[in-house]
């Protein structure tokens, strides 16, 4: 059973004001958190992750973005997917922080970052990422994008190039979400397209409105509801306890996200060593294979078994971090 220190939500939100910088996670959240499932080798409560911090920085358009950080050494920056946040990466951060300086950036309107009615485009999120990299003052970083986070990285590369990037990792993101009416079925599968109507996808994702598989492929929700991993249960429970944003508040960026096609960026602009992660139960499997063929210096990881889906990094963080460490540390890549 989850145990939270007795403190009101208003106090928690006050503690996360724009004036927060470099605060210990427990102090920043004004609470400790007890994970519902005990897992050997992992913290039983948040305070046992001793060097985890929650910080904020201000973007050029006056938005306070939260970021989570832990560890020291070579920098590894995670960019979450749509509606996701640093809390969901708690297990991944715990493992990787033993070797790297790990960051997770909460995108605007997500997690502990400000909610604002502007800048709801992938290109602006890419600018936010650039400003965050500049804020860390690292000369080179490794970037890891999960789901929409991969698209943000593709936009970053398109706009700013890759001179500050060392290695890249993309976790199960289709190259194009929207299915163009003149595409062959082979091209649709190669690019991973999953909807013929961005509007219906947004309604399904944010308002739980009904749809059908011909309009929006909802397999990702079925795999999310398959809460078959104690790691995943812990990180999702933690995130749901401290993050209070509704899907509707995060919906404005979805149309822009759904209608971008990153085929040209992947074919011509992704030149750094790249790891691609997917699983046998992901609908993106064929598109990840295509991406692997399109990026010259890339390595494809296809997971098998119950946790081999869109949420593989959260359901199986031990295997994921082991593979990511091997990729980052491989001097031949």
Query: 285: closest CA among 184, 192, 150, 169?
Result: 192
Kindly report the backbone phi and psi dihedral angles of residue 207, in degrees, each rounded to the nearest multiple of 5, phi listed first. Answer: -120, 5
Question: Is 3 inside any structural domain?
Answer: no
Q: Which one has a higher pLDDT value, 248 or 237?
A: 237
Tell me what the mean pLDDT of segment 15-42 comes to: 80
pLDDT at 194 over 80: yes
Residue 333 confidence (pLDDT):
67
Query: 102: closest CA among 82, 77, 81?
Result: 77
Q: What are the residue ranges of helices labelled H in the chain?
A: 9-15, 25-29, 90-96, 122-136, 148-160, 185-191, 198-207, 219-225, 230-242, 252-259, 263-268, 285-294, 312-315, 317-329
Alpha carbons 30 and 69: distance in angstroms, whole number: 17
Residue 130 confidence (pLDDT):
98
Contact predicate 283/220, CB 8 Å? yes
Which domain does 170 fall in, by range? 9-329
Q: Which two tokens stand for residue 159?
A: 């706009």
Contact predicate 170/313, CB 8 Å? no
Contact predicate 241/33, CB 8 Å? yes
Question: Is 306 inside any structural domain?
Answer: yes
Question: Is 287 inside any structural domain?
Answer: yes
Alpha carbons 85 and 78: distance in angstroms, whole number: 10
14 pLDDT tier (thresholds 50, 70, 90): very low
Question: Is 14 inside any structural domain?
Answer: yes
pLDDT at 2 over 50: no
Alpha carbons 76 and 58: distance in angstroms, whole number: 20
297 pLDDT tier (thresholds 50, 70, 90): very high
Give the CATH number for residue 278.
3.40.50.1820
The DSSP bridge pattern shows strands 53-58 and 64-70 to be: antiparallel
Tell me what the mean pLDDT of segment 176-187 comes to: 95
262 pLDDT tier (thresholds 50, 70, 90): very high
Alpha carbons 156 and 298: distance in angstroms, whole number: 19
Question: Is 103 inside any structural domain?
Answer: yes
Q: What does pLDDT average to over the chain?
A: 91
Tell me what the mean pLDDT of segment 215-243 comes to: 87
pLDDT digits (tens, 9 = 90+) for 102-161: 999 999 999 999 999 999 999 999 999 999 999 999 999 999 999 999 999 999 999 999
Question: Is 98 inside any structural domain?
Answer: yes
Q: What angle do CA 90, 230, 92 make, to 5 degrees?
A: 25
pLDDT digits (tens, 9 = 90+) for 147-156: 999 999 999 9
Alpha carbons 30 and 16: distance in angstroms, whole number: 9
Question: Is 4 inside any structural domain?
Answer: no
Question: Is 177 inside any structural domain?
Answer: yes
> Residue 73, SS3?
coil
Tell me what the mean pLDDT of segment 281-299 comes to: 97
16 pLDDT tier (thresholds 50, 70, 90): very low
pLDDT at 12 over 60: no
Alpha carbons 188 and 193: distance in angstroms, whole number: 5
Residue 221 confidence (pLDDT):
67
> pLDDT above 90 covers what percent of the chain?
80
Alpha carbons 240 and 229: distance in angstroms, whole number: 16
Residue 330 confidence (pLDDT):
93
Tell if the pTM clears 0.85, that is, is over it.
Answer: yes
278 pLDDT tier (thresholds 50, 70, 90): very high
pLDDT digits (tens, 9 = 90+) for 200-217: 888 888 888 888 776 767
22 pLDDT tier (thresholds 50, 70, 90): low
pLDDT at 176 over 80: yes
Q: What angle do CA 45, 308, 154 make, to 5 degrees?
A: 90
Contact predicate 284/149, CB 8 Å? no
pLDDT at 241 over 80: yes
How many domains would you assign to the chain? Answer: 1
- For the sheet with 75-79, list strands across it: 23-24, 53-58, 64-70, 101-105, 75-79, 141-146, 165-171, 274-279, 298-303
281 pLDDT tier (thresholds 50, 70, 90): very high
pLDDT at 226 over 90: no
Tell me what the mean pLDDT of segment 278-300 comes to: 97
Alpha carbons 72 and 59: distance in angstroms, whole number: 24
Query: 45: closest CA among 100, 101, 1?
Result: 1
Q: Which two tokens stand for residue 131?
A: 């400003």
């Amino acid at each position: 059973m989850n145990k939270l220190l007795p403190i009101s939500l208003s106090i928690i939100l006050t503690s996360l004001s724009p004036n927060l910088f470099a605060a210990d996670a427990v102090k920043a959240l004004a609470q400790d958190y007890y994970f519902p499932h005990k897992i050997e080798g992992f913290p039983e409560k948040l305070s046992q992750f001793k060097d985890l911090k929650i910080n904020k920085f201000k973007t050029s358009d006056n938005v306070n973005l939260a970021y989570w950080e832990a560890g020291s050494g070579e920098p590894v920056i995670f960019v979450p997917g749509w509606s996701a946040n640093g809390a969901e990466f708690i297990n991944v951060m715990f493992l990787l922080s033993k070797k790297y300086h790990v960051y997770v950036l909460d995108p605007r309107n997500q997690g502990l970052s400000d909610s604002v009615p502007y800048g709801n485009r992938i290109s602006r999120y890419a600018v936010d990422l650039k400003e965050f990299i500049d804020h860390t003052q690292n000369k080179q970083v490794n970037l890891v994008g999960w789901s929409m986070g991969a698209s943000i990285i593709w936009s970053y590369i398109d706009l700013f190039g890759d001179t500050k990037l060392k290695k890249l990792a993309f976790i199960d993101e289709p190259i194009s979400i929207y299915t163009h009416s003149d595409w062959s079925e082979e091209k649709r599968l190669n690019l991973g397209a999953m909807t013929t109507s961005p509007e219906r996808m947004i309604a399904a994702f944010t308002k739980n409105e009904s749809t059908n598989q011909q309009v929006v492929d909802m397999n990702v929700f079925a795999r999310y509801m398959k809460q078959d991993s104690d790691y995943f249960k812990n990180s999702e429970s933690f995130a749901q306890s401290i993050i209070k944003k509704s899907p509707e508040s995060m919906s404005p960026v979805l149309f822009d996200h759904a209608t971008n096609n990153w085929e040209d960026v992947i074919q011509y602009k992704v030149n750094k060593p790249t790891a691609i992660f997917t699983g046998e139960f992901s609908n993106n499997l064929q598109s990840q294979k295509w991406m692997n063929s399109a990026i010259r210096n890339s390595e494809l990881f296809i997971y098998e078994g119950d946790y081999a889906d869109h949420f593989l990094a959260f359901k199986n963080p031990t295997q994921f971090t082991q593979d990511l460490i091997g990729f980052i540390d491989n001097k031949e890549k």
